[in-house]
Amino acid sequence: MKYKKEIKNLGHSFKYAGTGVWSSFKSERNMKIHVFVMCLVILFGIILKINLREWITCIILFAIVIAGELFNTAIETTVDMISLEKSPQAKLAKDISAGAVLILAIASAIIGLIIFIPKFIALF
């Protein structure tokens, strides 16, 4: 009987996690941008026939950037909930979490350019 309850709880966990991802996508402009860029990379990856190692790299980077944006959203939401008035500490926490996502996105873009620029050059 305990096993069925654990499976049910696991199912709820996935449902709640999916709700969190979907809520972030609906409410956060930057999440929409990250997903749009991810779709472009997937499209170009298919067109340019990137290899397995390059796909794995892209998928890991997608996960890192999307997870970073989810952490950022969670931090910003928590800060807004706790700090009802504007405060320098609240702003700093939000700015730092946004900065972390920026660093992840820049590093991912650089790695993406390393993967894709030679493929574009090879077309011409």
Active site residues: 69
Closest CA to 90 of 101, 99, 98, 79: 79
Closest CA to 93 of 104, 108, 78: 78
What contacts 57, CB < 8 A, 6 or more positions away? 111, 115
Q: How far apart are CA 67 and CA 88, in angstroms?
A: 26
Q: How far apart are CA 52 and CA 54, in angstroms?
A: 5
- At which residue do the structure tokens 């700093």 appear? 92
